[in-house]
């Protein structure tokens, strides 16, 4: 692929400094770029690679010092976002899959829309409904009465349990399990655990993306719900009856306990743990490795275990790091106090 720099600059609303007629063939990270590549620079930590990069063109912020004359620059407000837009428009992978492979088992009661493609060894049980332009890759299993909306993509080795409802343009990556039993038990008179049947389902709304090896458990009663536009990274556990709002992003290794409700437009970093039966306000940001032990009712940034408002958490962390010094200072103060007591004994 050969793309003119001037065309790319127009597409992202940027200004060209250098050769606007230059063609680029590919995209690359700044430290790996070769001649013919377009790269980008938006974090100061990567500026050290600028002097040696082999890239032919680079997306930079306004005011960046353009000290090399052998590189063409596209100046944009947000190079990271501009670079992503170029990837989406010109370099997005085409998930090629056509027709329905003869190795599939598709129950006669399944309703299949137009232009549906199904790969090898896929099993689709009775009562399922597939929309138009759905792609289901190899070795996936879809049990009874599931629905998958238009233009959704199910990658290899996905399991979708009975009665799950998946919206339009949903992407589910390999190894993900939707609708496994929620973790529900009670103890009998002998102290043995007795399984509580999980008779609810999972609802995943439009434009959601689930990474690899995500687990979304079915509800005990009612529905586990992931709402429109939410994006979930690999290795995330969503327990039974959890509700996640619209346009929320959740990073890898996060665990969300049962019946927790997370609001709209939240940002959850990696390895965050949520206790069950709590609510998280819209617009909340939670820093990595935090433990959420109670509801968060006020939007803001939170960190720590248990999580606290971010600035307060930093202050407490600073005190913890200084505990050794505090201990020494307290000991010196105690010694000084003893000297004062000896010098001025209390009157009897």
* Active-site annotation, residues: 240
Distances (CA, A) of 310 to 255, 299, 317: 20, 11, 10
- Work out the angle at residue 300's Cα, subtended by the Cα atoms of residues 294 and 306, and round it to the nearest 5 degrees: 35
| Beta partners for residue 117, in sequence order | 135
Q: What does the DSSP 8-state code read for residue 100?
A: B
User: CB within 8 A of 202, min separation 6: which ones?
Assistant: 161, 163, 164, 165, 178, 179, 216, 217, 218, 219, 223, 224, 225, 226
Distances (CA, A) of 22 to 10, 18, 132, 150: 14, 9, 41, 39
Q: In this structure, are residues 253 and 274 in contact, taking their beta carbons and an 8 Å threshold?
A: no
Q: In this structure, are residues 163 and 201 in contact, taking their beta carbons and an 8 Å threshold?
A: yes
Q: Which helix or strand (DSSP H or E) is residue 57 part of?
A: strand 57-60
The rounded distance, in Å, linking the Cα atoms of 322 and 314 is 12
**Residue labelled with tokens 């010094």:** 325
Q: In this structure, are residues 56 and 71 in contact, taking their beta carbons and an 8 Å threshold?
A: yes
The rounded distance, in Å, linking the Cα atoms of 34 and 258 is 49
């Amino acid at each position: 692929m050969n793309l003119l720099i001037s065309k790319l600059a127009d597409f992202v609303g940027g200004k060209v400094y250098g050769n606007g007629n230059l063609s680029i063939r590919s995209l690359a990270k700044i430290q790996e770029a070769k001649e013919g590549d377009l790269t980008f620079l938006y974090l100061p930590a990567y500026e050290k690679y600028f002097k040696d990069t082999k890239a032919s063109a680079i997306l930079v912020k306004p005011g960046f010092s353009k000290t090399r004359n052998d590189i063409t620059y596209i100046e944009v407000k947000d190079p990271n976002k501009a670079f992503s837009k170029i990837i989406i428009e010109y370099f997005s992978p085409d998930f090629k899959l056509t027709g329905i492979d003869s190795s599939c088992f598709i129950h006669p009661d399944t309703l299949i829309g137009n232009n549906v493609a199904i790969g090898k060894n896929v099993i689709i049980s009775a009562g399922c409904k597939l929309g138009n332009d759905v792609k289901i890759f190899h070795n996936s299993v879809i049990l009874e009465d599931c629905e998958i909306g238009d233009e959704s993509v199910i990658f290899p080795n996905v399991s979708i349990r009975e009665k799950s409802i998946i919206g339009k343009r949903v992407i589910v990556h390999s190894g993900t399990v939707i609708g496994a039993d929620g973790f529900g038990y009670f103890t009998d008179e002998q102290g043995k655990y007795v399984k509580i049947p999980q008779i609810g389902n999972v609802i995943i709304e439009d434009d959601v993306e689930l990474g690899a090896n995500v687990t979304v458990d079915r509800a005990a009663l009612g529905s586990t719900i992931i709402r429109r536009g939410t994006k979930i990274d690999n290795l995330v556990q969503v327990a039974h009856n959890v509700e996640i709002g619209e346009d929320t992003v959740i990073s890898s290794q996060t665990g969300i306990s049962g019946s927790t409700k997370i609001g709209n437009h939240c940002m959850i970093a990696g390895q965050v743990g949520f206790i069950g039966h709590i609510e998280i306000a819209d617009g909340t940001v939670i820093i990595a490795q935090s433990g959420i032990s109670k509801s968060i009712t006020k939007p803001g940034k939170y960190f720590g275990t248990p999580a606290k408002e971010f600035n307060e958490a930093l202050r407490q962390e600073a005190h913890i790091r200084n505990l050794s010094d505090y201990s020494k200072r307290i000991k010196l103060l105690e010694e000084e106090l003893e000297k004062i007591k000896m010098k001025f004994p209390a009157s009897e």
